[in-house]
Amino acid sequence: MATSLSHQVADGLVRGALHGFDTPDRLAALPGDAPLRDTLALDSLDFLTFVERLSAAVDLRIEESDYSRLTTIASCVEFLTTA
């Protein structure tokens, strides 16, 4: 990643990478601390799709060992802004 992201931009990227897993309205209203897999009923295929989109959006390779840091929108934002 060329430059560090602001929290606001990172939040938008994370919510954007979740598109299709719920309605746009509900995704926009999703609390930052809601557990993504449970709240959106993501299976492993969905989560891989989410990771792919996120990787592409920030041009950063996300390892499987990083998955434990991608549990909520807030933790994803934290991961992206400190990567």
Binding site for another protein (CB under 8 A): 19-20, 24, 41, 43-45, 48, 51-52, 55, 61-64
Q: Which is nearer to another protein, 55 or 75 (CB)?
A: 55
Q: Which is nearer to another protein, 2 or 45 (CB)?
A: 45
How far the first Cα of the chain sits from its last, in Å, is: 8
Cα separation, 41 vs 56, whole angstroms: 23
Q: By the 8 A CB rule, do 32 and 77 touch?
A: yes
Q: Please state the closest distance from residue 16 (CB atom) to another protein, in A.
A: 12
What's the distance, CA 52 to chain centroid? 10
Q: Please state the closest distance from residue 53 (CB atom) to another protein, in A.
A: 10
